[in-house]
Amino acid sequence: MKLENNVRIAVIGLGYVGLPLARLFATKYSVIGFDINESRVSSLQSGTDSTLEVEDNVLQKVLVKSLNEEKGLYCTTSINDIKECNYYIVTVPTPVDKNNRPDLTPLYKSSETVGKVLKKGDVVIYESTVYPGVTEEQCVPVLEKVSGLKFNEDFFAGYSPERINPGDKEHTVEKILKVTSGSTPEIGLKVDALYKSVITAGTHLAPTIKVAEAAKVIENSQRDINIAFVNELAKIFNLMNIDTQEVLTAAATKWNFLPFKPGLVGGHCIGVDPYYLAQRAQEFGYHPEIILAGRRLNDSMGEYVASQIVKLMIKKGISVNGANLLMFGITFKENCPDVRNTKIVDVIKALKDYGITVTVFDPLANIEEVEREYKLETVNILPKEKFDALVLGVAHSEFLEIDFSNLQKDKSLIYDVKGVLGSLADNRL
C-alpha cells in the first residue's frame, strides 16, 4: 500500500524505545517527539541522549528547530505541537506494581494526551508491551471518550510491539524485523507500509492486533522460562561441585541446543512481561504454572547469589560481618545506563543483611536516579581502597579492562555473576 504524501508522525514517550524509533522515522518523515519530562526533552533537543541508545552525532543529524520541516525530529513537551500529526505512536513503559500486577497508568495517560488532539482519519499505534486485548479494550475507549470520535469510523488503531535491545549497537531498531497490525485489514496494510518504509529487516503483518500483542508478550516469557531453567541447573550443579558454564558449553555442541546462560533477570521486559500474560490468563480462569514458576525462580536468584558469595567468603577465611565488598555494576544489563527493575539491588540487599558493607561502582548509572529509585549510594569513579570481596554483577566493557589485583587484599574473593572473567574469578554463577 502506498502511504499518503503528508505523513506526519508523533512519537509519545522519548525513552529507550521511543527515541531510536523517532530518530529512524525522522530520516524520512516529519517527526514530533513528545515527552512530559522537560529536562529529557531539553537534553534531546540540544543533541544529547543520556540513555546512550542514539549516539549524539546521529541524533544531531536529524534534529530540526522548526515544526514545519518536511523531515527531521523536533522534541517538545507541548501538546499543541503534535496536533497536526496524523500518526501517533505510543512508546511509554508498561511496568508492574509492588505486587507484580500490570500498571497501565502510563498507557492511560498517554492515550488521554493523544485523545485531546485526535482528528478524523488519524491512526494511533501502540508499541508498549501489553497483554492481548489492551489496545482495543483499554486504550481505545480512552481515545474515544477524550476525543469524542468513533473507533474504526473516525480514527483507527494499530499495534507494533517494540523489539529494542538496550545497549545493543548491532541489533538496532531498523535491523530487527517488525511485527505490525491494524484495527481493520486496510489499516493493517497502512501501518505495515509505514514501518516497512524505514525498517530494513522487513515486517510481518499479523492478522489482528491481539495476535501482535500476544506475540510480543510470549517472546520475553519464553526467554524468562529458558533462563529460569538454566538458573535451576546452576543451583543443582553447584551442589554437585560441577561448573555450570562448562556443562552448557559441552551441551551447546548439539545443533539444536538453546544457548541460554544463568543470571539475574531484570529490566523492563523479560522480568515484567510474564506477569502481564499471567494476569490475563487468570482473568480467563486459567492459572499459569510454568510462567509463574519461572518468575519465582528468577526472582529468587538475587538472594541465591548473595548466599553463594557469603559461603565462598567463609571458605576463604574472610570474616563476613563487617567485610567490605565492591559491587561492579548496578544497571540491569551491560553497557547500558538503564537501572529499571535491576536485580543487582536484590544481591546488594541480601549482602547487607549479612552485615557486609557494599560499595557500588557503576560509571554508566545515574547516581541520582539510583538513589531515588532504590535508596542506594553509588560511585562512578573506581575506588582506590582494597576490598574483602569483588563481585562482577554487570559485564560493562570497561570492567573487563580493570586490574582487579589493585583492589584485592591478601585473601580477597572475586565472584563472577556474568561468567566473563574466566580464571581470574574464584567462582562464578
Q: Where are the alpha helices (DSSP H) in 255-359?
A: 273-283, 290-299, 301-315, 344-353
Residue 273 CA to residue 162 CA, distance in Å, equals 12
Angle of helix 301-315 relative to helix 290-299, nearest 10 degrees, comes to: 40
Cell of residue 154, nine digits: 473516525
Largest Cα–Cα distance in the chain?
74
d(C-alpha 107, C-alpha 275), whole Å = 17
Within 10 Å of residue 134's Cβ, how many Cβ atoms?
Answer: 24
Buried b (16+ CB within 10 A) or exposed e, 207-236: ebbbebbbbbbbbbbbbbbbbbebbbbbbe
Nearest to 86 by CA among 36, 120, 133, 128: 120
Closest by Cα among 263, 270, 163, 265 to 212 = 163
Tell me the C-alpha to C-alpha distance, in Å, between residue 159 and each of 25, 176, 315, 399. 16, 16, 54, 39
Gap between the Cα atoms of 164 and 323, Å rounded: 39
Q: d(Cα 133, Cα 416) in Å, to the nearest integer? A: 41
Reference 362, options 349, 375, 378, 347; nearest CA is: 378
- CA–CA dist 39, 24 (Å, integer): 22
**Among the options 75, 85, 139, 269, which is catalytic?**
269
Dihedrals phi, psi of 96, to nearest 5 degrees: -120, 160
CB within 8 Å of 8: residues ≥ 6 apart: 29, 30, 32, 84, 85, 86, 87
Cell representation of residue 360: 557500588
Going 131 to 163 to 16 to 158, the CA torsion angle's sign is: negative
Q: Is 269 a catalytic residue?
A: yes
User: What DSSP string runs through 109-142?
Assistant: HHHHHHHTT--TT-EEEE-S---TTHIIIIIHHH
Name which of 357, 300, 304, 299 is nearest 327 in CA terms.
357
Please list the active-site residues: 269
